[in-house]
A and B are shown apart, each in its own frame.
Chain A
Amino acid sequence: MSSKLKTVHLKLPASTEDLQTLEIGSVVYLSGRVFTAREGIYKRAIEEGVGMPASREDLGSANFHCSPAATIEPDGTLNVGSVTATASFRFAKWLDGWLKLSGCNIIIGKGGMTSEVYRDIFVPNNTIYLTTVGYGTGALLGRGIRNVVGIHWKEELGLAQAAWVLDVENFGPFLVESDLEGNSLFERENAKIAPGIDKLYEGTRPATLRRYGETDNKKEEVI
């Protein structure tokens, strides 16, 4: 894909040294092993104290916030068509425990987390965040899957919440949302947009009937 953006091909598992080369806003393609895990896995592994669904060797160290569009054929074959991330900010409360338990150093998802979460949880655990693009490049990502290695906790959690283990090649594109220093691409972009917000709202009128709410500052985010 032609673009002015810097592009990096990263082999998994990635070392801290590998991750140090990544800057926010760079395009990344992954080769190696990734696995899906989201609230179902986190709740069971951490809150219910069950621990990890498989060994670190089996799962790899790149956690994708995703449920694939996938099915299991009658002969047991795992058929993954398209994969896209789900919004990550909802999972922040489990992440400190999760990074320590899983040893993951790459989180892949949709929309990132706040820089506060990066500073407090990601940076001490030498972890970066990659965001999917679009967020609908499910077919391109599906093409990057070389092998569906296995599925864990299918009976306990169902197809959508189970841990799918995928061997991938040139899997992407992703964008670096947070680097090892905890910088956030999204927050950088928000800051660029914020100065125009007041002008944008000129000629509008606050609603007569107000609502109780958490924020009315349009420069803040709702996550």
Chain B
Amino acid sequence: MIPLASLQRTAEELMAKAAIEIPDDYLAGLRRCANTEKGDLSAFVIQAMLENYEAAKEDRRAMCGDTGVPRWYVKIGNDARIDGGPIALEAALRRATANATHSVPLRPNRVHPLWRTDHNNNVGINAPEIEYSFHPNADWVELTTVHKGGLFGSDYRMLFPGDGIEGIKRFYLDTLVAFGKRGLACQPAIIGVGLGGSKDACMVLGKQASCLRTVGSRNPDPKIAALEDELHELGNNIGMGAMGFMGSSMVVDCQIEVGYCHTGGMPMSVHMFCLSSRRSTARIYADGRAEFRTDPMWFTDYSRRATVEWDQPMLEAAE
């Protein structure tokens, strides 16, 4: 039985880690941008950001003043037992969100869409979002928090099979050019692309691709992996760098996730995870012990499963 107190304590620690510590994979990707950037202004911006990450870690303060809209991804092992069950877990995640908003501190970003009511704790109606996944042959629970900005850099479009790869590239460029100008998307960014599913699933897949994969990881389908490389390069050929200044640093990496869709369509979503690509994960075991990491390992062979039954032996996470 996983103790509830361990889950809540770990969740609060995850909130602070996400807000303060830039993940190593994104940092390495941004350093590669710094090494190749020729534009003076764009290079200056990247250098300032690299210094900012150090300042955040030294001072234990949030790396960005807009601490995004915190949300949770929960992966539950098939054999895990949670003290109080999933209802208690959800309450613990909501408490952790509220407590960390005060203790880090985070910006209390969450308000009612119409009445603008702010509880000053990032908790409210349907907030924070909590998404679930499951994992075979495991007795642990994994918690991931993502603090992504909420205003610019994502879009959806219904494409059709006839639009082809040329249509995918077009919509990809449209989104990057639109939100790249003046740096509204706070690039260089991790670009997540969702292809397929229904409209809501398409948005979810693209968002998860940008937030829950790591820089350098590749889709297990080699042709999709090649498309990820191609779109990564295409985004950096726009001529636009950090803050929309002339340069080559638009995309730190591009990640694509797919889901089967209606035979007549090819829906596509694009999401941009920013210079503060904040995510933090922990696995909590039955004895309450927590192991922290920055790779959510959300996508696995099991989570992407393509067949009716899951009858393969469990494999390690794909990335």
Contacts and interface: CB of A to CB of B under 8 A. Distances in A.
B47 A3 contact: yes
Contacts, number: 217
Interface string A65-88: 011111100000001011111110
A82 B65 contact: yes
Given A136-B275, A205-B163, A112 B41 contact: no
A141 interface: yes
B170 A79 contact: no
Contacts of A143: 55, 59
A93 interface: no
**Interface magnitude class on chain A:** 35 or more
Given A79-B105, A87-B184, A207-B171, A158 B120 contact: yes
Interface residues of B, number: 70
B174 to A, nearest CB: 7
B293 interface: no
B3 interface: no
A192 B242 contact: no
A220 B41 CA distance: 21
A137 interface: yes
B44 A27 contact: yes
A222 B105 contact: no
A32 B314 CA distance: 61
B186 A81 contact: no
A5 B118 CA distance: 41
B246 interface: yes
B133 interface: no
B107 A67 contact: yes
B181 A139 contact: no
Nearest to A209: B158
Nearest to A84: B65
Contacts of A136: 49, 52, 63-64, 66, 186, 274-276
Given A87-B151, A131-B243, 19 more contacts: A5-B41, A79-B105, A81-B62, A82-B64, A133-B44, A135-B275, A136-B66, A136-B276, A138-B62, A159-B120, A189-B244, A189-B245, A192-B239, A196-B238, A205-B170, A208-B159, A209-B160, A222-B178, A223-B184
29 contacts: A3-B40, A25-B41, A27-B44, A67-B107, A68-B65, A71-B105, A81-B105, A133-B44, A133-B49, A137-B52, A138-B52, A138-B65, A138-B276, A139-B59, A139-B63, A140-B48, A140-B55, A158-B118, A160-B109, A160-B111, A186-B243, A192-B239, A200-B238, A201-B170, A204-B169, A205-B166, A207-B159, A207-B170, A209-B158
- Closest 4 pairs (CB-CB, A-B): A84-B65, A205-B166, A138-B65, A139-B56
